[in-house]
Amino acid sequence: MDSPLTTYLLPAALAVIMFGLGLGLSVADFRRVAAYPWPVAVALVCQLALLPAACLGLVLAFDLSPELAVGMMLLAASPGGTMANIFSHLFGGDVALNVTLTAINSVIAVFTLPIVVNLSLDHFMAGSDEVLGLRFDKTLQVFLVVLVPVAAGMLVRHRRPRFAERSTQAVKVTAISALIGIIIAALVAERDNVLGYLADVGLVVFLFAAISLTIGYGATRLARGDHRQSVATCFEIGMHNTTLSMAIALSPTLLDSTRMAIPSAVYAVVMFAMAMSAGFLLRRIAPHEDAAADAGEPARVTRG
């Protein structure tokens, strides 16, 4: 996908997306980890270790093509997004914990995401003439594209909090609108292959989404987190930032591959239905004491 649309607009859209993410973060979000040390630790282990391992297992079991395999690993390495906070709020999760996890995961992913993708490229595409973009010699480029806009957004929020509050929604809408247009153009260019990609990756995406949501809730529950904390991590771990992963896959300066963006595009559609179903299920199985907390009583906080 080498066109002016992807060469210039996509990197700009990715930078704006990350700048908008930074506008929604503050130092207080990171300090809040002191109130939730154990749930945060469990969530990070899930995000950084369990999910990539589970995704790798699925990719190998279903013998995906190299490009789709790398796309799945890119998806697994992507952090949670703001939609996780919204779903957590709708279904009785601990939103403060979501904000904390989003802040920490977003920064950590700047370092871990290139590592996971580089290792995936080395494993699945070694010796191929189609080895693409995101090699170790371009890791610094990824850091600059992702980390610098986040830091700039946080600085603007710190210096001009009112401007940040007013601008956050507009920045998000602008960036996502541009990205949607680019994704549509990419799908049109690959229209003859899209159905085949869906057939190849659809079941894998569905299983990965189910595993992500289950691990997010179950791991925190097993670690003695309460129901509200477990709901928060369920959505935070289960709802990956497909906006980020698709932008990286399509960017001509990074991966420049429509096929690598297919898993994230399919996941973006599948996940909303699955997250909604998971939310209603979690409402039904909520323990009595946590249902009372949702009704307004003080919530129990697990501390390390």
pLDDT higher than threshold 50 for residue 38: yes
User: How far apart (Å, rounded) are the C-alpha atoms in residues 281 and 275?
Assistant: 10
Phi and psi angles of residue 303, each rounded to the nearest 5 degrees, phi first: -115, 150
% the chain with pLDDT above 90: 11
pLDDT higher than threshold 50 for residue 220: yes
Architecture of domain 4-294: Up-down Bundle (1.20)
What pLDDT does residue 297 have?
Answer: 46
**Token digits for 35?**
């109130």
- Amino acid at residue number 263: P
CA distances from 205 to 74, 76, 188, 266, 279 (A): 12, 10, 21, 7, 19
Average pLDDT over residues 211-228: 87
Phi and psi angles of residue 36, each rounded to the nearest 5 degrees, phi first: -135, 50
The model's pLDDT over 162-201, given as tens digits with 9 standing for 90+, comes to: 888 777 777 767 766 765 666 666 566 656 666 766 777 8
| pTM of the model as a whole | 0.69
First to last CA, the chain: 48
The model's pLDDT over 99-119, given as tens digits with 9 standing for 90+, comes to: 778 778 877 877 788 888 888
Burial class (CB in 10 A: 0-12, 13-18, 19+), 123: middle
Task: Mark residue 284 as left, alpha or beta (left: phi above 0; alpha: psi -120 to 50; beta: remaining).
Answer: alpha
- Amino acid at residue number 228: R
What pLDDT does residue 131 have?
Answer: 43
User: How far apart (Å, rounded) are the C-alpha atoms in residues 170 and 132?
Assistant: 33
pLDDT higher than threshold 90 for residue 206: yes
What pLDDT does residue 54 have?
Answer: 93
The b/e string for 253-263 (b: 16+ C-beta within 10 A; e otherwise) is bbbbbbbbbbb
Q: Is 132 helix (H, G, I), strand (E, B) or coil?
A: coil
